[in-house]
Amino acid sequence: MLYNVMQIQDILPHRYPFLLVDRITELEPSKMITGYKNVSISEPVFQGHFPDHPIYPGVMIIEGMAQAGGVLAFQSASKEEQEAAKDKVVYFMSIDKCKFRHPVVPGDQLIYKLTVIKNRGAVWHLDGKAFVDDKLVAEAELKAMIVDK
């Protein structure tokens, strides 16, 4: 384990119920990150999606990938930039080639794996994949920018 949920909260501004990364298990600055989220029936989203057939929404999977990408971007910065990151946030610029391959249900552990396609200054272009039990459940190319709050 590299970062637990408390350490992730020191990096990202997201909080319950919208912090969608529980742990970071692997990180190579400016190259790749692996993290996960444990999907629980007690999450508020399952009250409406769907009460008698709970499916974790695809947009939440993509957001979780993006949050892992935000950790990668912030932790790839210099120490001085990391200190300044307290006043920064990551904004989506685009989501491309997004596909949902298999439903995610309560009890699943979503593994997020992102690799850097390109990084130019504050702009990050990432290839994201989400897995459950080594099965690809979602994928997308994400572009995001680090901006002032």
Residue 10 lies in a domain: yes
Catalytic residue of the set 49, 53, 102, 125: 49
- Structural domain of 78: 5-41+53-148
Residue 46 lies in a domain: no
CATH number at residue 90: 3.10.129.10
Residue 124 lies in a domain: yes
Q: How many domains does the chain have?
A: 1
List Cβ neighbours of 119 (8 Å cut-off, separation of 6 or more): 30, 73, 76, 125
pTM value is 0.95
Q: What's the pLDDT tens digit per position in 44-101?
A: 999 999 999 999 999 999 999 999 999 999 999 888 877 777 788 889 999 999 999 9
Residue 23 lies in a domain: yes
Whether residue 140 has pLDDT greater than 80? yes
Residue 48 lies in a domain: no
Q: What is the C-alpha separation between 137 and 129, in angstroms, rounded? A: 8
User: Active site includes 125?
Assistant: no
